[in-house]
């Protein structure tokens, strides 16, 4: 039985265990140094393939974006419709409480009020009350020559400052190229790009909009954007998890 068909209790326990097994000190260290940090495996290879295989099932999605048409790059992505595949729901529930302390700490350093409650469901209810009611989990598909321009996934006034992407394909086997790119504008310094090749089933946590960096004047916010380098061969699928909904 694949996880897409597993019971909620089994799926939830499985993903909580995987989140617990992640070295969150290492994730936080990566976020502090580069603005992104790698998790351990969050999906098995079979689960990753099962999610990628949903791409052609129109009933699973609320909208499809052709990146070239909107000058976002080359390739295509689709926003999942509710109800989500159970793997999407359980991944978000497992990751949110791990990301929340980092988010609150970042906002405290920047002198900002942290609006996020302990519960993901309560946070999404706040988004919906503010008019951000559209679902934001994304399934992305890249072929040879496709790429994703630098951007931010903001969608409205209410923003969670961390998000995650999971590679569903095998680097070096299913595709070459397609590195995740994070571009940071550092205060009073030259900008920096960080490239990460994400293993199949592994995740990368990264800053949604900006992050605190220490300067001679204290803590400052360094803006970031993310994208994907050109896929040189093959096909690459990924799952993006944004923790706020869209207006």
Question: What is the Cα 197 distance to its own chain's centre?
Answer: 14
Distance CA 223, CA 161 (A): 11
Task: Confirm if 235 and 175 have CB atoms less than 8 A apart.
Answer: yes
Tokens of 158: 């209410």
Q: Which pLDDT belongs to residue 12?
A: 59
Distance CA 161, CA 210 (A): 7
Q: What integer pLDDT is reported at residue 216 of this predicted model? A: 86
- Which residues make Cβ contacts (< 8 Å) with residue 27, sequence separation at least 6? 37, 38, 39, 205
Residue-by-residue pLDDT tens, the chain, 247 positions: 344 543 344 455 689 999 999 999 999 999 999 999 999 999 999 999 999 999 999 999 999 999 999 999 999 999 999 999 999 999 999 999 999 999 999 999 999 999 999 999 999 999 999 999 999 999 999 999 999 999 999 999 999 999 999 999 999 999 999 999 999 998 778 899 999 999 999 999 999 999 999 988 899 999 999 999 999 999 999 999 999 999 9
Strands (E), the chain: 36-41, 61-66, 73-74, 76-80, 138-142, 147-151, 162-167, 175-177, 180-184, 192-196, 202-207, 210-215, 218-228, 231-234, 236-241
Burial of 159 (0-12, 13-18, 19+ CB in 10 A): buried
């Amino acid at each position: 039985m694949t996880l897409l068909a597993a019971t909620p209790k089994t799926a939830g326990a499985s993903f909580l265990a995987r989140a617990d097994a992640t070295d969150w000190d290492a994730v936080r260290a990566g976020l502090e140094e580069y603005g992104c940090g790698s998790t351990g495996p969050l999906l098995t290879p079979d689960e990753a393939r099962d999610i990628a295989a949903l791409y052609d099932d129109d009933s699973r999605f609320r909208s499809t974006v052709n990146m070239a048409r909107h000058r976002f790059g080359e390739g295509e992505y689709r926003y999942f419709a509710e109800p989500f595949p159970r793997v999407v729901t359980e991944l978000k529930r497992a990751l949110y409480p791990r990301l929340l302390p980092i988010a609150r700490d970042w906002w405290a350093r920047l002198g900002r009020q942290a609006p996020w409650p302990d519960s993901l469901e309560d946070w999404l209810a706040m988004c919906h009350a503010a008019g951000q009611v559209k679902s934001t989990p994304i399934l992305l598909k890249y072929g040879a020559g496709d790429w994703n321009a630098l951007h931010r996934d903001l969608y409205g006034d209410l923003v969670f400052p961390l998000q995650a992407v999971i590679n569903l394909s095998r680097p070096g086997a299913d595709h070459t190229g397609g590195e995740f790119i994070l571009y940071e504008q550092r205060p009073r310094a030259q900008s920096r790009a960080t490239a990460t090749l994400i293993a199949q089933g592994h995740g990368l946590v990264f800053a949604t909009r900006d992050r605190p960096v220490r300067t001679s004047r204290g803590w400052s916010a360094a803006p970031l954007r993310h994208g994907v380098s050109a896929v040189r061969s093959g096909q690459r699928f990924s799952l993006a998890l944004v923790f706020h909904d869209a207006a």
